[in-house]
Structure 1
């Protein structure tokens, strides 16, 4: 289900992983057992975390990917706990991110307007892929993110979820 500032895709983790109406991008609001949220600790994902708990009446596991942010990750455990997350999973993806995403991007000379490296945007598929693995480990039947419907990050997350 596309929600105000998040995406929830029902999943069975089988052959047909998602019950997503691709024509409209929506799934009817259903009862979820558990949701895994791609969590940055910023305003958007903190509000979404609380909203998901209230709207779906189920636990939400916050997931943060460490792709080299450093000190930014330190306050996330407390923020996630205070916002109502069942738990916070921080996964070190630095090596995978550089090896499988950054190096291929550099080899392909993937720069925007000749000078802007696409490091942030290329991180989204890496994050979403790991988020799906965590959802499976947690027994979650939905995933969500905090990207707005106005940007490319939403597309990057959702296409990776559906891959």
Structure 2
């Protein structure tokens, strides 16, 4: 049986996580970046100064397989109890329960840190991610049509939410 572990992000993890992220940039609509991100931009997206927001590295049998994070939904004070959840997993991890374990892990962290609601914004084409969040109790609360443009086509995004 495989062992899924979560550890706080360390600077040495960033290149491996960026490689996983850039895979999705170049091969899917999971990210709305259209060019690979550089180290400075990626680092800014996963390193949070406020300890309420955190990125955890996901390992499977000791090997880095992705990351999960809770980050600010918006910067205005009234949003302080709402966090945005993002998960990126190595493609070979799909369907092994890693994503669900990551959601449950980040929800426990978020609850301990005073969050009330969590949201995830997903490209409407990303059926595996939609399925993963849905089966973990998230419900669709928004659908924005044609807000992204990648690979010659307009893309919709959907937002899923869970009150924790």
TM-score category by the smaller chain?
A: 0.3 to 0.5
Higher RCO (C-alpha under 8 Å, 6+ residues apart) = 1
Which is richer in strand? Answer: 2
Which is richer in helix? Answer: 1
TM-score under structure 2 length normalisation: 0.34
TM-score under structure 1 length normalisation: 0.34
